[in-house]
Amino acid sequence: MTSNNTPQPRSARLRTISQSLHDSLEQTVGAHAPFESRESYGRFVQMQYLFQSELKGLYQHPEWVALFPDLPERCRSEAAAADLADLGVPVPSAVAGAPSGLNRAQALTWIRVSEGSKLGAAILIKRANAMGFDEHFGGRHLAEPEGGRMPAWRAFNAIFDALSFSPEEEAQADQAVIDAFSRLQVLLQDTYAG
C-alpha cells in the first residue's frame, strides 16, 4: 500500500489501468485454444511474431538501450520467427496500424507490456511442452529469460519506475498501455480470422 504522501509506482498504476484489458486478452486467447492443435498454436505464434516485430525497432532504439542496456537481447521477434520456421508456418504479413512515432513514455510502456507477457509465458511454455515444443524448437519465444522471469521483470520495472516523466508523459503512458493491449487484440483477431 502507498500512503497519501507516496505516489503509486508508475508500473503499479499502469497495471491497474490495463487489468481489465489484460483479462480480456487472456479470455480471447483461451477462446482460440492455441494449445489444442498445432494449427491453432501456429496462429498464436504468428500473433506473437507480429507484435514482437512491430516493437523490434523500439528494443534497438539507442536512447532506450542507454536506459536498459540489455534491451536488444530482450526482444523476441527473431525467436518467434524461428518458431514459425520450426512449425512450417509462414511469417505473416504486417497488419495495418502498427505503433509509430512513439516518444519515450509511450515506447517504454509498449515495451513494458511485451516484457510483462514473459511472466504469463511461464504457464504457456508448459502447455507448449505438452505439444512437443520447447525453448529449442517451436517455443523459443516463450523461453525463460536469462536470470529468470521475475528478476528480469523486476529489473525492468525498477528502471522504468525511476524515470522522470512529466505529467503529460504520465498521461501518454496511461494511454499507451491501453493502446498496446488493444493492438494485441487486433493482431490476435487478424491471425485467427483466416
Domain spans, the chain: 35-193
At 4 the pLDDT is 60
**Cα end-to-end distance, the chain, whole Å:** 46
Fold of 35-193: Heme Oxygenase; Chain A (1.20.910)
Question: How high is the pLDDT of residue 97?
Answer: 97
Residues linked to residue 137 through DSSP beta bridges, in sequence order: 134
The whole-model pTM stands at 0.95
- Residue 70, judged by CB atoms within 10 A of its CB (0-12, 13-18, 19+), counts as middle
Which residues share a beta bridge with 21?
none
* Site of grid cell 482460440: 32
> What is the C-alpha to C-alpha distance for residues 41 and 152, in angstroms, rounded to an integer?
26
Q: Would you state the pLDDT for residue 6? A: 74
| Coil/strand/helix, residue 136 | coil
Q: What is the pLDDT at residue 106?
A: 98
Q: What is the DSSP letter of 137?
A: B
Per-residue pLDDT of the chain in tens (194 residues, 90 and over written 9): 445 667 899 999 999 999 999 999 999 999 999 999 999 999 999 999 999 999 999 999 999 999 999 999 999 999 999 999 999 999 999 999 999 999 999 999 999 999 999 999 999 999 999 999 999 999 999 999 989 999 999 999 999 999 999 999 999 999 999 999 999 999 999 999 96
